[in-house]
């Protein structure tokens, strides 16, 4: 909509003529452009399109599309971070695993994790299997090096059924100690076997082994 004809000095009687060709747009933006103090409709100097270039503090905000171009930390409450899930997982211990369910097809050699978070921190004291029914589910694995059990590798079940065997990913303690991490994605789910995962991103080294 063209607002160039409207200024702070525009008379109310002139508005029907100015907005005659785009009344629909005018109705949509009237609430934004109406100045209650002066009682007139104003043209925002820094606004084009919808509310662009606006700033302020909102108690409640409803938006069709909301894009944040710069991440920031809430300096008032000091609890908001760019990735709070990662932070809490990184500093916390491993409390996500459970014993494999013997009444199902779950492999008794692995401790299981029912995936509902974007990050999981694992130790090398047991082999881990991640379970989800959501194809394309992603998660990032963090290796806990604070407590190491001997020199065993970190082992993750990747494919619960490969030619009659299983496929695992092994990450050495050495790689984990220098900052290795891996992101995996669920590429298949079978009720008879469980979730199959593929490597999506990684740092460091890993080995895929059929056992």
**Band (28; pLDDT cuts 50, 70, 90):** very low
Lowest mean pLDDT among 24-33, 84-93, 118-127, 141-150: 24-33
What pLDDT is stored for residue 27 in this prediction? Answer: 47
Confidence of residue 203 (pLDDT cuts 50, 70, 90): confident
Q: What is the mean pLDDT of residues 34-59?
A: 56
Q: Which candidate, 200, 105, 194, 117, places its Cα nearest to that of 157?
A: 194
Closest by alpha carbon to 207, among 144, 161, 158?
Answer: 158
Higher confidence at residue 94 or residue 155? Answer: 155
Beta-carbon count within 10 A of 49 CB: 8
Tell the burial category of 128 from Cβ atoms under 10 Å away from its Cβ (0-12, 13-18, 19+): buried
User: String of b and e for 79-111 (b: at least 16 CB within 10 Å)?
Assistant: eeeeeeeeeebeeeebebbeebeeeeebbeebb
Domain ranges of the chain: 12-67, 86-210
Global confidence as pTM: 0.60
């Amino acid at each position: 909509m063209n607002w160039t004809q409207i200024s702070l000095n525009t008379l109310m009687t002139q508005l029907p003529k100015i907005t005659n060709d785009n009344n629909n747009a005018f109705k949509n933006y009237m609430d934004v452009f109406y100045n209650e103090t002066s009682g007139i409709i104003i043209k925002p100097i820094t606004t084009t399109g919808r509310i662009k270039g606006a700033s302020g503090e909102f108690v409640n905000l409803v938006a069709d599309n909301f894009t944040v171009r710069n991440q920031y930390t809430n300096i008032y409450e000091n609890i908001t971070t760019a990735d709070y899930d990662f932070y809490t997982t990184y500093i916390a211990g491993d409390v996500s695993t459970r014993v494999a369910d013997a009444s199902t097809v779950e492999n008794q050699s692995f401790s299981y994790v029912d995936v509902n978070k974007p990050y999981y921190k694992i130790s090398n004291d047991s082999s881990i299997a991640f379970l989800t029914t959501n194809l394309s589910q992603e998660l990032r694995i963090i290796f806990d090096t604070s407590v190491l059990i001997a020199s065993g590798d970190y082992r993750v079940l990747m494919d619960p059924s490969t030619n009659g065997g299983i496929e695992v990913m092994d990450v050495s303690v050495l790689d984990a100690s220098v900052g290795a991490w891996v992101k995996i994605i669920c590429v298949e789910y079978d009720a008879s076997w469980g979730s199959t995962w593929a490597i999506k991103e990684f740092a460091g080294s890993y080995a895929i082994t059929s056992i």
